[in-house]
Amino acid sequence: MRVSSMVLTLLLVGLAFGGTAIAHEKASHKGVSFGEPQDGAVVQSEFKVVMNIEGMKVEKAGDALPDSGHHHLIVDGDCIEKGGAVPKDELHRHFGKGQEEATLLLAPGKHSLTLQFANGLHKSYGRDWCQTIHVTVE
């Protein structure tokens, strides 16, 4: 009995320290990520996109404030080079009002979604502030 109690105590202590390390690692991550959908998701033609960021502040477009900007969603495209302007067309969706959620409507098939963070003047922060996932639209 005594050995079992000691093993249980050690396991609990290990989980406590492990959980702290994992929480700290998540808290210190900087960059963009998709809250929804997940990479590899199968979605309907109209679906919700949730855009997350750690390490910068979401602001409306207009001024290039330090450590801030807004999200851009690139459909079937890649990250934009640091300092490059994000085009404004059907494939490059701008969220210059500071939106962090949107509804997307795509044709059936396989698509890539690239989340790119850029400053208030739509100048990209580069690959460090970019994430690409893949979805299949039914």
pTM for this prediction? 0.79
Task: Classify the C-alpha dihedral 82-132-117-84 as positive or negative.
Answer: positive
Give me the residue spans of the domains in the chain.
Answer: 31-137
Tens digits of residue pLDDT in 63-122: 899 999 999 999 999 999 999 999 999 999 999 999 999 999 999 999 999 999 999 999
Tens digits of residue pLDDT in 4-54: 444 334 333 343 444 444 433 444 569 999 999 999 999 999 999 999 999
Task: Tell me which CATH code domain 31-137 carries.
Answer: 2.60.40
* Distance separating the N- and C-terminal Cα atoms of the chain: 56
